């Protein structure tokens, strides 16, 4: 309820897109290696999402990470459809990622090799991950 004589204001709010500039991680050497932006920053975000199992670490909110652990030992048909859904859901939480497309999933023994295209506001790139299923 707005108090008598009060108002919500007439000012217009402007939506400002936040920069994607962030610290670049040199995973091979375990250090920070300067700043990155644009498509390179999106690639790093995808990498970090795949390194984080969703709901496992309380430092991250419920929207961050990917749910893959529950697919181990499941029927390959279920795993195939769930991988598409879970990967797309995990990556599109990032506002810079518009879509995840062109999935290719190949099962070999207890692993699934997943290749896909990430469509972002900065461009597209192919990504892949090998998972134990």
Tell me the pairing of strands 22-26 and 31-36: antiparallel
Residue 12, in any domain of the structure:
no
Give the per-residue pLDDT at 110.
Answer: 86
In the prediction, which pLDDT does 57 show?
87
> What pLDDT is stored for residue 44 in this prediction?
96
pLDDT given for residue 17 in this prediction:
72
Residue at 69 is within a domain: yes
Q: How far apart are CA 25 and CA 76, in angstroms?
A: 34
Question: Is 116 within 8 Å of 102 (Cβ atoms)?
Answer: yes
In tens, the pLDDT along 10-41 reads 677 787 777 789 999 999 999 999 999 999 99
Q: How many domains does the chain have?
A: 1
Question: Would you say residue 15 lies in a domain?
Answer: no
Domain with residue 52: its CATH number is: 3.10.450.40
pLDDT of residue 98: 97
- Output the pLDDT for position 106: 95
Residue 6: inside a domain: no
Indicate yes or no: pTM above 0.75.
yes
Question: What is the reported pLDDT for 26?
Answer: 93
Per the domain annotation, does 13 fall within a domain? no
Q: Give the integer Cα–Cα distance in Å for 36 and 123.
A: 15
For the chain, residues with pLDDT lower than 70 are: 1-3, 5-10
Give the integer Cα–Cα distance in Å for 59 and 25: 19
Range of the domain at 65: 22-132
pLDDT of residue 71: 87
Q: What is the pLDDT of residue 90?
A: 96
């Amino acid at each position: 309820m707005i108090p008598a004589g009060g108002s919500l204001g007439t000012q217009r709010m402007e939506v400002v897109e936040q920069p994607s500039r962030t610290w670049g991680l040199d995973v091979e050497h375990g250090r920070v290696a300067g700043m990155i932006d644009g498509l390179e920053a999106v690639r790093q975000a995808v990498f970090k999402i795949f390194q984080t199992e969703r709901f496992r670490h309380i430092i991250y909110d419920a929207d961050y990470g990917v749910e893959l652990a529950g697919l181990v030992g499941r029927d390959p048909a279920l795993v195939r459809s769930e991988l598409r859904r879970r990967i797309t859901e995990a990556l599109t939480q990032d506002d810079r990622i518009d879509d995840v497309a062109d999935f290719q999933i190949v099962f070999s023994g207890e692993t699934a090799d997943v290749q896909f295209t990430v469509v972002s506001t900065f461009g597209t790139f192919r990504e892949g991950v090998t998972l134990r299923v």
